[in-house]
């Protein structure tokens, strides 16, 4: 599995960092998503983060 994050699309809602903190974080300045682990071991958490993200800024691919 691969995780991706598009900082240009992110609105800084923070759901991803709450649900999958090993995969997604937020920068200190704007609160936009930071990809912490592009090959997450916990796919379920990463998928849930994608489901909850309001902007469609993150994705996971097989
Ligand atoms: S949940 Fe989506 S909009 Fe919110 S910080 Fe994460 S990527 Fe950005």
Can you give the residue ranges of every domain in the chain?
2-61
- Ligand 1 atom at minimum distance from 6 CA: 7
Q: What's the pLDDT at 41? A: 87
DSSP-derived 3-state class of residue 11: coil
Q: What is the mean pLDDT of residues 52-62?
A: 97
* CB of 28 closer than 6 angstroms to any ligand 1 atom: no
Q: Tell me how far the alpha carbon of residue 38 lies from the centroid of ligand 1, in angstroms.
A: 16
Which residues are CB-neighbours of 40 under 8 A, at least 6 positions away? 1, 3, 20, 22, 23, 46, 60
**Class of the CATH domain delimited by 2-61:** alpha beta
- Ligand 1 atom at minimum distance from 10 CA: 8
pLDDT tens for residues 11-56? 999 999 999 999 999 999 999 999 999 999 879 999 999 999 999 9
Q: What's the pLDDT at 42? A: 77
Q: What's the pLDDT at 15? A: 96
Which residues are CB-neighbours of 27 under 8 A, at least 6 positions away? 34
């Amino acid at each position: 599995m691969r995780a991706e994050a598009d900082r240009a699309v992110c609105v800084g809602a923070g759901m991803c960092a709450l649900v999958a903190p090993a995969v997604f974080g937020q920068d200190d300045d704007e609160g936009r998503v930071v990809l912490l682990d592009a090959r997450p071991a916990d796919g379920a958490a990463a998928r849930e983060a994608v489901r909850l993200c309001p902007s469609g800024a993150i994705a996971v691919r097989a």
